[in-house]
A and B are shown apart, each in its own frame.
Chain A
């Protein structure tokens, strides 16, 4: 065991940074918030009494332990995986653990966010300390009762054993433990001692999911609640002039029609009359800001691809000189459309705005943001607002934006009634915060068999690259390097979409690399490995990835997928990409069916450090890869006069089972602190596939969605 500073002191723990010991002193009472969770999850006998140990856990008098899941669950499995980390250091039997979703509580928890594949990475240390601190206090309580040194006691599965073999169960010393001094340092387990972390444990909500119990935001039904469906401007740039609600009010079950801003809410006793009422509204719209179209966006982006930025994201050497002196210059343009997020659970939120307080319940990836924005909107204090997170039917970035919570709060405030706001699928797809349409121009110069220059320019709608992407491979090892990004201003809302920017940049970068390798007559895998050797010699703090770990996943997937040894009729494509702190390499196998390329399988190797929950990790990788292929193949949204081209799944195509490739996932085994998996497996899928398509057909793909080029 190693000693780790807890950073918890008597003076500071009321405003704790990561964890809070001594929950009893804080007067926490989470019994009230989550009783429903306790009813079902597993066939555990519930205790008569709970002992609160700290903000993350409480111990029942029969040995059952409740561990709070602090972060929003959008399908990335954090409701299971994060409590597993606490349970590991607490040293309890996972079968005796009940998991509860924590409400928004910024005093107790530091980062209640689902985004950027950061939940496990940023919570890892804090959650371990939360469990270890509790364990330490329980051991100290037992040792005090026995009058022995805590160092002579050991724990296993919720039992403390003294040197002489005496035993006490956690629940037997829980009351004394809660009064123990919060340690300033705690011992954390060596990864070799892990019993829960690293073992596959099923989703804690599985019983509820497979039996259809209420679990999601859209399932919220409370006393006195009305359902609300909203009519919004049909095009970006329009505003509401006037409306006639006489037909809407005649619909059975419609209770009220309320205008707020440029939107009209129809309230009803249930969802269907609200939907019918909305359809019966007659509204007049006027142009407020210009109505934009894809053709015009395309032109604006193409123009920017040749514009030089005054503040490039990275600039090494002199690319102009490198291109002038080159033996060969490669130049390619890549294009991707807008994408809606399309979580299967449409946007929704429950709000009850009362004089004595505001209650919010629903799906959000950023609950603290939801509370802050609603407080600002209503002119209330954040302390008057409670927010309970539900399980979420997907997020993919859409629920980082809290327009649903704001709309629900505004409608509830105007209607003076609790309201459940529901977006129809059409609302969800047309009032989006889309993945920005994006174009890239990439150029590279080759001189004497070496890559001497690399110049990438991005043009994207209302957004551009950020973070460390400019320093991803192959930055640093090419002497003349320029990385620029531009945004085209637009009134169409854009935002983060699963693996923001990297979801397309990976395709651009890794497809182009395949062409570079071909121009150099090099094997693309060996070329990557060689260049990564050179990265190891660099002194460049901007480079975040590890060349060793990237080489590791490249070698692993090349071995598992038999790179270069494909049987007759099977064509291989390769990609390797680091993003969101995780290293991934993928190998695609394509066959020809009546002359058309068909993706059969993707092999994937991942280095995310310690794999907290192998079952969930496998799921994230399989799903992320198929999602990556699906959106590269089919995802498409264009605009005409401010209106999106599609509004439902009859015209908007998502990948289905018969189109999904087989996926085989391998993880690098090591003891490095874990990183996330919600996003990293997604970006490398499309380029691996496209590079295999080239091998099979001789045709390079430059534009999403591929289906237009492949199925013609």
Chain B
């Protein structure tokens, strides 16, 4: 076990875990930030996506020992009042069905739109392709990303 002081959603949080523990499980089990979801554990489905220094990262294969002083943002910290443009667009379009993957979708979309504020439909599909939605809410995800770009 080792101690790590992490910068999570703007707060310093100290945890005592094995170095190989994926950031996902540190967030969920140690810090009780359960908004970041477990889907596959092999960085394939994208539902565990968080921002590390503003970049979308798969937290399920990212060991806590590699986080260092990087700024980690989870769905809980994306905005203070749930009013990030992507969150607002998600609400407007009533995107979720089961909702389980949506934190990963939202975090992916938010990082993508920061780099590409005016994307084409093709660019949206390419950016969002990494996150699986088993309910196949892709029609509304695409519409919401488009809408968020305009908010």
Contacts and interface: CB of A to CB of B under 8 A. Distances in A.
Interface in B126-151: 126, 128-130, 132-142
A497 B130 CA distance: 25
Contacts of A207: 82, 91
A227 interface: yes
Given A626-B138, A627-B136, A202 B91 contact: yes
A77 B97 contact: yes
A655 interface: yes
Given A210-B106, A252-B1, A626-B139, A649 B97 contact: no
Interface in B30-78: 30, 32-42, 44-45, 47, 74-76, 78
Contacts of B36: 212
B37 A252 contact: no
A344 B37 CA distance: 9
B98 A271 contact: no
A237 B113 CA distance: 50
A663 B138 CA distance: 10
Nearest to B27: A212
Contacts of A273: 18
A216 B100 contact: yes
B29 interface: yes
Interface in A195-248: 200, 202-203, 205-207, 209-216, 218-219, 221, 227
B134 A342 contact: yes
B30 A211 contact: no
Given A75-B135, A207-B82, A626-B138, A658 B42 contact: no
Contacts of B21: 272
A659 to B, nearest CB: 8
Contact of B136 (A200, A209, A660, A662): A660
A112 interface: no
A48 B84 CA distance: 32
A650 B32 CA distance: 28
Nearest to A656: B129
B47 A210 contact: no
B100 A345 contact: yes
Contacts, number: 186
A326 to B, nearest CB: 42
A355 B69 CA distance: 47
Contacts of A425: 39-42
Contacts of B102: 209-210
Given A253-B18, A655-B136, A270 B29 contact: yes
Interface string A654-686: 111110101100000000000000000000000
A393 B125 contact: no
A465 B142 CA distance: 37
Interface residues on B, range: 35 or more
A202 B91 CA distance: 8
A253 B17 CA distance: 9
Contacts of A203: 94, 96, 99
B101 interface: yes
Contacts of B96: 75, 203, 205-206, 209-210
Contacts of A209: 96, 99, 102-103
Interface in A607-634: 615-616, 619-620, 622-627, 630
B98 A221 contact: no
A648 B42 contact: yes
Contacts of B142: 657
Contacts of A662: 139
Contact of B34 (A212, A615, A622): A212
B97 A344 contact: no
A350 B132 CA distance: 26
A663 B47 contact: no
A211 B135 contact: no
Contacts of B139: 622-623, 626, 660, 662-663
A617 B70 CA distance: 42
Of B18, B30, B75, B134, most A-chain CB atoms within 10 Å: B134
Contacts of A345: 37, 98, 100
B102 to A, nearest CB: 5
A270 B64 CA distance: 15
B140 to A, nearest CB: 7
B134 A654 contact: yes
A384 B90 CA distance: 41
A649 B42 contact: yes
A648 B44 contact: yes
Contacts of A650: 40, 42, 44
B35 A75 contact: no
30 contacts: A75-B97, A75-B98, A75-B135, A202-B91, A203-B99, A206-B91, A206-B94, A210-B91, A210-B102, A211-B76, A212-B34, A215-B99, A270-B17, A272-B18, A276-B20, A391-B99, A393-B101, A396-B134, A425-B39, A425-B41, A425-B42, A616-B94, A619-B94, A623-B136, A624-B136, A626-B139, A648-B44, A654-B134, A656-B132, A658-B126
Given A210-B75, A212-B74, 17 more contacts: A76-B97, A205-B99, A206-B91, A206-B96, A212-B76, A218-B37, A272-B18, A272-B21, A344-B37, A392-B98, A394-B98, A619-B97, A649-B42, A650-B40, A656-B138, A657-B125, A660-B138
Across the A-B interface, the 4 shortest Cβ-Cβ residue pairs: A212-B35, A393-B100, A75-B98, A212-B75
